[in-house]
Structure 1
């Protein structure tokens, strides 16, 4: 028995040693000209990878297209559903029933990487999460994002969700070139909601000269991802880094890639469309390398100090770094490569300087002055069974928009879609109702108003809105109507009125149960 146990222990030790000896997964990288699509350099650029919050770039793209098509407006009020409020951090933390305009929701979503506001935008544009996800995948196919498949609007990890460095560069180019008037959305340094100031999760903004944003992403399975955009000397480059070991590493690595691109006018002769497939079908899970115990790294996508970002030479030369980076360093002063923003200290640490101060953009909650005339959100009715729309015509996003304001007869949602269904909040609280901004975030628990403050009540012209909100209150009034009538009719001859009374009262009492089902 002892020999058997020793044999098993030896076999286990051999397995662990062999596993530890396996090389780390290569970190995909890519540099591309934002205007021409020419590839400056690439490494594993078409390998599938978990996108994390870079998914929010596609959420923004679909929403911007809806604005351009007139299906929704910047000042359209979006209600916060229970599903949105229940999302995991990072998030803004609005309560179910509160409201925010599309512009403010998108700005906070891209700056803070707020998962709850990504769902708010998705439901407001598509009517439901399943319908909006169908819209995202339809746009990905149209843009030629061959390695991408989306299952969420915010990037919270799901095994089937994937993208690639090449696909993210295609998406970044589409955002940059198709919506030049909205570039400030992803380049904003900081936003302020009430007393809360939230800085952009992109560490290049405020540190890298010419940085114009795009998006970060992090889950343990993907590592730290960053799509960086910067302009210098009349050129605009997009750099993509996937699977970095920390937030500092992804920022410094992206800065070095941009330095390399701006230092060279040559290209590989390839375009994003001509990059060959990787041969992989699924994304690797790097959680053991990123989130293993004792790593001592700050595992968060929305935390960044204002000071310098620093990584050690050991980190830089590890397997998580691309050999492509070795050509970036030169013999410039203070260990700085020629034209480089990052510097290397005598001790071998690579540093990206401190962050500049930001004047935060003020974000208001609730409707704005233009909200009354803005197009309605696709989920403005609150209780509309949008899942039925998504299942009926998944390839035609317009169906959700065409149905807004006209909720269909109540139906039972399919079991697999129930988790995504948007339902009317139990106790909506407007920005002006007891508690103000603190009540919207759930910091305090004000007494709910006696009647819901809904979008339909503020805009009574909404067709079908009242019917979606009042099914429970209306039957109660009908049920108590017969009692007052008895007193009035008692003064008149009883022969006619008493006999007629039960006929009117019986259907009024039975009606509510039929509607509530």
Structure 2
């Protein structure tokens, strides 16, 4: 490929690499054919691909509704961050306060004045949706549930949950406590992406503290072996809610159902969404973060070529059969001269779908190329003059 040239190249597919969202805030210039969604009885729901971040089907996905114990996904996310930073350790002994003991709803039946390992409280929070465990952990890391909720809202803002407000750490009905199906799907994706070592706890079907064995309310863990989490919730205001994630043949989907009429309805809706996604769509990794798309000539540098790519893993979800209609058009800036810094944009990759523009992304340097020595620069000047 010569400097400044434009050509159509087949998209390369890579596997086994980590997440990077495809679209971010960028809208597609063209759209693939519409796939009719399945019938879902719940008043709000969404189906999202984990790797591309693309929404495959939705209804009232941005409607603010009570999330019930789906709230604990953010409780867990904040606590996992504390584990990662070292501010909480799995072996820490946590004192159980009177406030934690007074928690209503699902509980571990913790005794006030006792102390429990943080890991056991976390598993109780995740597997059993234990409210007493949630409050005890919140008090341990933030001093009080109120302080912890402030952290939850700060994190929600940071990761772009624009229509979510938390008023408590457990999910009990409270005025102003609300989330959307889209925000909850994004939260689930962030948790799976950032904390895979702890996400596996969401697949546990039961938990015992040595006194009582209780069972995970996510019936899809028994019904579908590809489902490995994440959370259920239920309250008077919220109805029956579910976030489910399944992984099949290298593709992970996240389904969120809010406000179902009963336990069976949320299970059926969640399963129907997942089956729809896996049957009708396919996700592929188009460009890997560290693998060059092109290696054009660079002048006046300490190297003669420079690896260029998208700088992040670039995934795309399309209806099955449509990936073969994708092509990429790569454009590199005219007269590419050193020095060039790693991450510096020097061109574009434009995606075409069935000969129509789909999206465009910056083409960036995957490594730094410094200015060449006097001899290298002289040779390049001669070559340029001869062209």
Normalised by the length of structure 1, the TM-score is 0.46
For 1:427, the equivalent position in structure 2 comes to: none
- Distance (Å, rounded) in 1 between the aligned partners of 2:232 and 2:89: 26
Q: How far apart are residue 209 of structure 1 and its match?
A: 2.3
For 2:205, the equivalent position in structure 1 comes to: 189
- Distance (Å, rounded) in 2 between the aligned partners of 1:33 and 1:124: 35
Give 1:294-305 correspondences, 5 Å limit.
none
Contact 1:26 1:44 in 2 (8 A): no
For 2:94, the equivalent position in structure 1 comes to: 78
Contact 1:40 1:266 in 2 (8 A): no
- Distance (Å, rounded) in 2 between the aligned partners of 1:128 and 1:67: 18
- The yes-or-no answer on 1:204 pairing with 2:220 is yes
For 1:137, the equivalent position in structure 2 comes to: 153
For 2:293, the equivalent position in structure 1 comes to: none
- Give the alignment partner of residue 160 of structure 1, picking from 154, 176, 181: 176
> 1:156-196 CA deviation, whole Å, 9 max, x = no partner?
11021000000100110010000111122211111112242
Give 1:27-426 correspondences, 5 Å limit.
27-265=43-281
- Distance (Å, rounded) in 1 between the aligned partners of 2:133 and 2:235: 18
Give 1:437-476 correspondences, 5 Å limit.
none
- Distance (Å, rounded) in 2 between the aligned partners of 1:26 and 1:237: 18
Contact 1:122 1:132 in 2 (8 A): yes
- Distance (Å, rounded) in 1 between the aligned partners of 2:89 and 2:120: 12
- Distance (Å, rounded) in 2 between the aligned partners of 1:195 and 1:96: 16
Q: How far apart are residue 227 of structure 1 and its match?
A: 0.3
Contact 2:243 2:257 in 1 (8 A): yes
Q: How far apart are residue 266 of structure 1 and its match?
A: 6.1
Q: How far apart are residue 132 of structure 1 and its match?
A: 0.4
Contact 1:48 1:164 in 2 (8 A): yes
For 1:432, the equivalent position in structure 2 comes to: none
Secondary structure in 1 matching 2:105: coil
Contact 2:101 2:111 in 1 (8 A): yes
- Distance (Å, rounded) in 2 between the aligned partners of 1:117 and 1:87: 9
> 1:301-323 CA deviation, whole Å, 9 max, x = no partner?
xxxxxxxxxxxxxxxxxxxxxxx
Contact 2:42 2:257 in 1 (8 A): no
Q: How far apart are residue 107 of structure 1 and its match?
A: 0.5
- Distance (Å, rounded) in 2 between the aligned partners of 1:113 and 1:93: 12
- Distance (Å, rounded) in 1 between the aligned partners of 2:195 and 2:112: 31
Secondary structure in 2 matching 1:236: strand
Secondary structure in 2 matching 1:133: helix
Q: How far apart are residue 26 of structure 1 and its match?
A: 6.0
Larger helix proportion, structure 1 or 2? Answer: 1
- Larger Rg: 1 or 2? 1
Q: How far apart are residue 130 of structure 1 and its match?
A: 1.2
Do the aligned partners of residues 165 and 101 (structure 1) sit closer, same or farther apart at CA in structure 2, a change above 3 Å counting? same
Q: How far apart are residue 95 of structure 1 and its match?
A: 1.1
Q: Which runs of 5+ in 2 are unaligned?
A: 1-40, 284-387
Secondary structure in 1 matching 2:219: coil
- Distance (Å, rounded) in 2 between the aligned partners of 1:67 and 1:92: 21
Q: How far apart are residue 76 of structure 1 and its match?
A: 1.0
Larger strand proportion, structure 1 or 2? Answer: 2
Secondary structure in 2 matching 1:183: helix
- Distance (Å, rounded) in 2 between the aligned partners of 1:260 and 1:209: 16
Contact 1:34 1:237 in 2 (8 A): yes
Contact 2:95 2:116 in 1 (8 A): yes
Secondary structure in 2 matching 1:78: strand
